[in-house]
């Protein structure tokens, strides 16, 4: 089958040192989740679903898994609260929707999709986004939906050290607190359409009101049928300064690279310009999959051109 008739799908669950993944059981827990999500996405696309439907479905499943830093597993800010960011983008027409600093929403990526399809806007934040969620009839979940003992302990450690922490921090903090990750999904469907979604609780002990790269089009998320779909994970400030998702797309558009070369070139630029910490998953318009990162590891998996699923750190 030619690549024009096949689908490709990639997901990630965060980047960092992942030093806590010292045993097979922990590794299996992550990889099993990634594999389950990929197979769900495969079903969506084999049943005729679009790339957009596949990335939303995959992102929601990852948001619902407490091992990842998004949705119910989100990290806590300086006030011990969650503030969630998410975005989704449709490569057919560059339509995009994003939310930032929302709470009490189980699946922020779903709200981002509603911003894209049901509002005139690209991004809504905080109280305005919550009012829009009410307007759309989205259920609010109670605060304790988000508080896991691990999250509370992780915030305590970050406060003790007077620092913010990446979800899977490359720091000396050594415990279960490093086992969570920002999530993302990118897809190309059999029609050749691309889509991307990213969702996160951000970084541990972040200032109230801090927004990262995940909901910023061109930084943490991007999709353009002419080039590629990208989802990023890592220190948001680094991605925002280097506008990395759009930069990777531009390497394809302006320098004629394929997605594999563009992803590598983007990560080289990210490292060289801002000493960036994190990684990206990329699917190009031919269905090629690429995952590159500057951290020790990135939890990710892919199905390339309808083939078997692969998962790795």
Q: Enumerate the active-site residues.
A: 182
Minimum Å gap between C-beta 303 and ligand GLY is 24
In sequence order, what are the residues at sequence separation of 6 or more whose Cβ sits closer than 8 angstroms to the Cβ of residue 60?
71, 107, 109, 110
Minimum Å gap between C-beta 88 and ligand GLY is 15
Q: Which of residues 163-182 bind ligand GLY (CB under 6 A)?
A: 182
CA–chain centroid gap for 118, Å, is: 22
Q: Which two tokens stand for residue 81?
A: 């609260």
Question: How far is residue 228's CA from residue 112's CA, in Å, rounded to a whole number?
Answer: 20
Please tell me whether residue 233 binds ligand GLY under the rule CB under 6 A.
yes
Residue count, binding to ligand GLY (CB under 6 A): 12
Pick one of 203, 265, 280, 289: the residue that binds ligand GLY (CB under 6 A): 203
Question: How far is residue 72's CA from residue 77's CA, in Å, rounded to a whole number?
Answer: 14
Q: Which of residues 25-44 bind ligand GLY (CB under 6 A)?
A: none
**Residue closest to ligand GLY (Cβ):** 212
Question: How far is residue 47's CA from residue 45's CA, in Å, rounded to a whole number?
Answer: 5
Q: How many CB atoms lie within 10 A of CB 37?
A: 27
Please tell me whether residue 200 binds ligand GLY under the rule CB under 6 A.
yes
- Identify which of residues 267 and 309 has a Cβ nearer to ligand GLY in the complex: 267
- What is the phi/psi pair of residue 19, to 5°? -65, -15
Contact between residue 289 and residue 282 where contact means Cβ atoms under 8 Å apart: yes
Contact stretch for ligand GLY (CB under 6 A) within 26-34, 54-62, 101-109, 213-221? 213-221
Please tell me whether residue 285 binds ligand GLY under the rule CB under 6 A.
no
Q: Which of 112, 79, 111 is nearest to 217 (CA)?
A: 112
- Identify which of residues 108 and 202 has a Cβ nearer to ligand GLY in the complex: 202
Which residues sit at the interface with ligand GLY, rule CB under 6 A?
182, 200, 202-203, 212-214, 220, 233-236
């Amino acid at each position: 089958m030619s690549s024009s008739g096949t689908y490709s799908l990639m997901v990630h669950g965060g980047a960092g040192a992942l030093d806590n993944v010292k045993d097979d059981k922990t590794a299996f827990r992550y990889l099993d989740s990634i594999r389950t999500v990929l197979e769900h996405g495969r079903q969506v696309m084999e049943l005729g679903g679009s790339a957009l439907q596949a990335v939303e479905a995959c992102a929601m499943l990852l948001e619902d898994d407490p091992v990842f830093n998004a949705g119910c597993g989100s990290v806590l800010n300086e006030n011990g609260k969650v503030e969630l960011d998410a975005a989704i983008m449709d490569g057919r027409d560059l339509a995009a929707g994003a939310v930032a600093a929302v709470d009490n929403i189980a699946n922020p990526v779903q709200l981002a999709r509603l911003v894209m399809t049901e509002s005139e806007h690209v991004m809504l934040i905080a109280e305005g986004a919550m009012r829009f969620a009410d307007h759309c009839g989205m259920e609010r979940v109670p605060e304790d939906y988000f508080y896991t003992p691990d999250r509370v302990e992780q915030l305590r450690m970050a406060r003790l050290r007077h620092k913010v922490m990446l979800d899977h921090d490359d720091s000396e903090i050594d415990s279960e607190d490093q086992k969570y990750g920002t999530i993302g999904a990118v897809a190309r469907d059999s029609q050749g359409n691309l889509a991307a979604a990213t969702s996160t609780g951000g970084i541990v002990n972040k200032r109230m009101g801090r927004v990262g790269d995940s909901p910023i089009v061109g930084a943490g998320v991007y999709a353009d049928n002419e080039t590629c779909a990208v989802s990023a994970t890592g220190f948001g400030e680094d991605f925002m300064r280097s506008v990395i998702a759009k930069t990777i797309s531009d390497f394809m558009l302006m320098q004629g690279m394929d997605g594999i070369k563009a992803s590598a070139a983007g990560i080289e630029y990210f490292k060289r310009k801002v000493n960036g910490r994190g990684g990206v998953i990329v699917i190009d318009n031919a269905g090629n999959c690429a995952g590159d990162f500057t951290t020790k590891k990135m939890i990710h998996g892919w199905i390339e051109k309808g083939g078997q699923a692969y998962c790795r750190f």
